[in-house]
Amino acid sequence: MESPSFSFKRILALLLLLILNVPLFSQEQTIPELPVLDPVKPQKQDRPKPRIFRYNRLTIQEDPYKAPSSIPRDFVPPQNSTLLFSTELKSDRLLENKESIVVFKSTFSKQVLETYYEILIFNLNHKILQNQKTDAKSLYLVEVFGRKTVAISIVPNENGSLVKLFHRTSGGF
């Protein structure tokens, strides 16, 4: 059995601990600082909502948030670019696109984008079927794996370049 002195010692130690820990019972409450951006919820950008038009298997978007999924991710616009327009033409098969187009404006110059796409095509072992460069426009016709072709058009703009990507699944044009 416990002796009464042992419980008295225990009560005395508990009271002493509570008395010395006065900030625990103070009226001042401190709330932790909340982060400015919630990492779980993605923050909405100050961009206009895309306008979407659909007719049968054709989908057209103005100011899209992202490029169509059928365009190879490697050809998606580099940083500092704004998507202006995109289209998708679905095939008869489920979840397959016949054709898709993306038009975007980039802050990079025409020469920088030419170099970017040439290095990209070379590193991914794609085949350049046709290449045409002038001061006004650059065109590339590229064969991608799986009977897919991508046409790249680069036009200089006042603040950078305007790039058009055309993707077709069926092989020939």
Q: Domains for the chain: give ranges and CATH numbers.
A: 51-168 (3.30.310)
- What is the C-alpha separation between 72 and 117, in angstroms, rounded? 13
State if pTM tops 0.85: no
| Per-residue pLDDT, 168 | 85
* Sheet order of strands, 81-90 included: 51-55, 58-62, 81-90, 97-106, 160-168, 148-157, 138-144, 127-133
Q: Provide the token pair at 160.
A: 């950078």
CA distances from 158 to 22, 108, 115, 153 (A): 68, 11, 19, 16
**Do the bridges between strand 148-157 and strand 138-144 make them parallel or antiparallel, or are there none, so unpaired?**
antiparallel
Report pLDDT digits (tens) over 39-59.
555 555 566 788 888 888 888
Residues 6 or more apart whose Cβ sits within 8 Å of residue 147: 169, 170, 171
